[in-house]
Amino acid sequence: MYFSSIQVLVQYFHSTILSEIYSEDKSVNQVKYFRNRICKAKHNILFLKTHKTGSSTVQNIFLRYGDEHNLTFVLPQEGNIFGHPESFNRQMTSWQQACLQYTERNLSCIERNIFTHHARYNYEEMKSIMPNDTIFVTILRDPVALMESLCSFFQIKDLYYENSTLEFLEKIFSNSLNKSTYHTSFINRIASRYGRNQMSFDLGFDAEYFDNLTMIKNFIETIDSQFHLVMITERMEESLIHLQNLLCWTIDDMIVFRHNVRNLDVSHNLSNGLKKRIRFYNTADNLLYKYFYAKLTRQTEAFGKAEMEKHINSLKHATKLMHKKCVEKEVLIKELEVAKLITVNNLVLGYKPTNVTDEKCRHLTTPELLYTLLIRQKISIIK
């Protein structure tokens, strides 16, 4: 069977290599220390956006905070993506161009505080342009839900002349050798960017090592050592409380509305057999997700479950009040005025604001592409 070899590898990996990584995890003990100490708000942050994980929602938090506190951003030279699928390098930034200009004029380079746009992870290059005390954060999602979302959002079924995303998924993750052309083309990645083990790929893991257990283990250990927090989409509020605690921000800073979200999620319609095949096919992502899901559980236990529940309830209440104040209704983003200013996906929802004069409401409801344009305009005015 097409996936039988992967099944054996996954079972072996679960029983041996993951347990080795767990035994080396020492960061959980730091959680109570962070929560109980008097702390100063962190301003230097690198948020590594992963595709179709809810990262646009989290990004809105960083865009708002940086904007409202007059912090500086690392931005692509154009658009909202740093050269992905190429691995990030400093030449991709508008910051690098500015630094060259400042150097020529014998002026010191402006320090950037926040990196929060799509890029393929490259620790050394990213670290080289950020302050030494930068906090590294990313987010992961269940690989099954991610794969369905990825294929639906980009309408990948159309490339294969399928009627629905569900039919496409059934064929591409079929055990039948007759579907080998699907397997081959998808392994090679759509537009060199989307495909197998999407989160691991975004986090810099090369496709040639997707079936190498030792390399997967080393990759997970590396990510664990370099990131201060790995959020989990399915536990968003819990992750946001850990983020608030890590950054020493307020509960109001964590209020956020969902962004870049489709109007329909059909991942719950997938059969158990299909879900299992998707997990096997995305072995690196599945193991990466399982490891950090378990780690988040341990972090919450160290934080205190009752304390966490209290903070989550406070966040939910504050978010509900702000949503009532700011949002008239959720509609397809193509129906909003903003669609005239940016490229939009016809499946994505947006917000028709109730209060366009309230700055916080505007920031909470502004989609990523428009917010990025506004930040660029603000930077050009300051210059």
Q: What percent of the chain has pLDDT over 90?
A: 56
Is the bond leading into 85 cis (omega within 30 degrees of zero)? yes
- Domain membership flag for residue 174: yes
- Domain membership flag for residue 245: yes
- Domain membership flag for residue 295: yes
103 pLDDT above the threshold of 50: no
User: In this structure, what are the phi and psi dihedrals at residue 36, rounded to the nearest 5 degrees?
Assistant: -95, -15
Distance between CA atoms of 16 and 19, rounded to whole angstroms? Answer: 6
Q: Looking at this protein, which amino acid is placed at residue 100?
A: L
- Domain membership flag for residue 84: yes
- Domain membership flag for residue 352: no
DSSP string over 272-311: HHHHHHHHHHTHHHHHHHHHHHHHHHHHHHHH-HHHHHHH
Query: Which is it for strands 327-332 and 349-353: parallel, antiparallel or unpaired?
Result: antiparallel
User: In this structure, what are the phi and psi dihedrals at residue 234, rounded to the nearest 5 degrees?
Assistant: -70, -10
3-state SS class at 363? helix
- Domain membership flag for residue 230: yes
- pLDDT tens for 208-262 read 999 999 999 999 999 999 999 999 999 999 999 999 999 999 999 999 999 988 7
CATH code, domain with 105: 3.40.50
Structure confidence at residue 232 (pLDDT): 98
- pLDDT tens for 160-213 read 777 888 888 887 787 764 555 555 556 677 767 888 899 999 999 999 999 999
105 pLDDT above the threshold of 50: no
Task: Give me the mean pLDDT over the 142-169 stretch.
Answer: 85
Which domain does 200 fall in, by range?
Answer: 4-258+267-306
Q: How many domains does the chain have?
A: 1
- Domain membership flag for residue 241: yes
In 3D space, the residue among 112, 117, 320, 280 whose CA is nearest the CA of residue 202 turns out to be: 117
Task: Provide the 10 A C-beta neighbour count for residue 100.
Answer: 12
Prediction pTM value: 0.88
Task: Give me the mean pLDDT over the 338-357 stretch.
Answer: 77
267 pLDDT above the threshold of 80: no
- Domain membership flag for residue 120: yes
